[in-house]
Amino acid sequence: MRAFRRTAIKGIAALTVIGVLAGCVSREQSSGAQEAPDTVPLSELSGVTLHIGDQKGGTQALLNAAGALDDLPYAVEFSTFTSGPPQIEAATAGKIDFAITGNTPPIFGAASNAKVKVVSAYDGGGFGDQVLVHADSPIRSVAELRGKSIAVAKGSSAHGHILVQLSRAGLSPSDVTLVFLQPADALSAFTQRRVDVWAVWDPYTAQAEKELSVRSIARATGVTNGAGFGVASDAALADPKRNTALGDLLVRYADAVRWANDHRDEWAQRYAAEVGLDPAVAVLAQGRSLRLPTALSDELVASEQEMADLFAESQQIAAAPDFSKWVDRRYADVLEPLYLDRN
């Protein structure tokens, strides 16, 4: 395996993929961003294990492919989830320390007073977040979705996307039937034509495009912010050792994404092999949906607030949270050079 560009003190990484974890999001009031504890030397992290949530997007696959898990001074364990909302629940329940999600799960987490904070951001452009219909469907635009059924994972980026698309077309969730299904069940329902429309994200969008006869009637590019977010548990952020390890991991992940951006073909092949996708699907998904590290800016936070307000207005959540209270920029200084030098 290639040498990772960032020097780290040698350690042993224990990598274990385990099943879906679940937890109940507490409705105890979150106290907002907390003061960061003092960091500790990396040489003191040998007994630390970071528990990381993963999806089919392949966080573990990316870190492995880039060699970013070589010579870790701490251990990592990965848990696989179907989408972002269960990751937020698991972090609140203390089952995981960190996960990367789309732009909507943190909003649902904030609305439920989840014990997590957004600590990093990634710019994906939203190209793979699309609204699909069958190729022979008479539906040609979002404006024609009145009375139609739409499969979507609740609280996912696709949920946020379809909500914004409906609003732009002068429709509301009450004008359609939102059928909340995780991707595997949504694929089955869509294939069997038990729903008219499927709102989904890559790599599922790419898989549908390559394996089914589908047509896209909308995509998130220019409609939502298309961002991904790194979300850490409050418990991990309050612990000096896990807080230090998270800072190190975020830099490793940012460098891994930049490596993938510079080695698109190699990364797509590795991604296909590690997550069990057809190489053509992997090439399509990673060619358009690789999220590069970006600043957790006021503008980005404001765009999340706008989406949260829309969720509340459409009664998808009880009330809009102040999203800024779920943002913690403690790692901005170490990550900023990677935003500036990402090309």
DSSP 3-state assignment of 226?
A: coil
Q: Which domain holds residue 231?
A: 17-124+226-340
Please state the separation of Cα 185 from the chain's center in Å.
19
pLDDT recorded at residue 269: 95
On whether residue 9 sits in a domain, the answer given is: no
Residues 236 and 320 both lie in one domain: yes
260 and 267 Cβ atoms separated by less than 8 Å = yes
Question: Residues 6 or more apart from 263 whose CB is under 8 A from it?
Answer: none
User: What CATH number has the domain bearing residue 324?
Assistant: 3.40.190.10
Question: Residues 6 or more apart from 324 whose CB is under 8 A from it?
Answer: 301, 305
Of the residues 204, 219, 234, the one at which a domain ends? 219
Residue with tokens 């509301």: 172
On whether residue 111 sits in a domain, the answer given is: yes
- The DSSP secondary-structure symbol of 181 reads -
Distance CA 222, CA 83 (A): 23
AA identity, residue 336: E
On whether residue 269 sits in a domain, the answer given is: yes
pLDDT digits (tens, 9 = 90+) for 242-273: 999 999 999 999 999 999 999 999 999 999 99
pLDDT recorded at residue 340: 53
52 closest CA partner among 206, 240, 227, 252 = 252
- Structure-block tokens of residue 285: 């998904």
**End-to-end alpha carbon distance in the chain:** 23
Question: Residues 6 or more apart from 86 whose CB is under 8 A from it?
Answer: 20, 21, 22
On whether residue 7 sits in a domain, the answer given is: no
293 and 226 Cβ atoms separated by less than 8 Å = no
Q: What does pTM read for this prediction?
A: 0.87
pLDDT recorded at residue 34: 73
Residues 199 and 326 both lie in one domain: no
On whether residue 144 sits in a domain, the answer given is: yes
Distance CA 59, CA 80 (A): 10
pLDDT recorded at residue 124: 81
Of the residues 219, 246, 273, the one at which a domain ends? 219
Of the residues 219, 238, 267, the one at which a domain ends? 219
AA identity, residue 192: Q
For the chain, residues with pLDDT lower than 50 are 1-31, 341-343
80 closest CA partner among 62, 96, 67 = 96
pLDDT recorded at residue 193: 98
- Structure-block tokens of residue 309: 């307000």
Residues 167 and 33 both lie in one domain: no
Distance CA 53, CA 55 (A): 7
282 and 58 Cβ atoms separated by less than 8 Å = no
Q: How many folded domains does the chain comprise?
A: 2
pLDDT recorded at residue 123: 92
Residues 234 and 306 both lie in one domain: yes
Residues 150 and 79 both lie in one domain: no
On whether residue 157 sits in a domain, the answer given is: yes
Residues 120 and 241 both lie in one domain: yes
329 backbone dihedrals φ, ψ, rounded to 5°: -100, 25
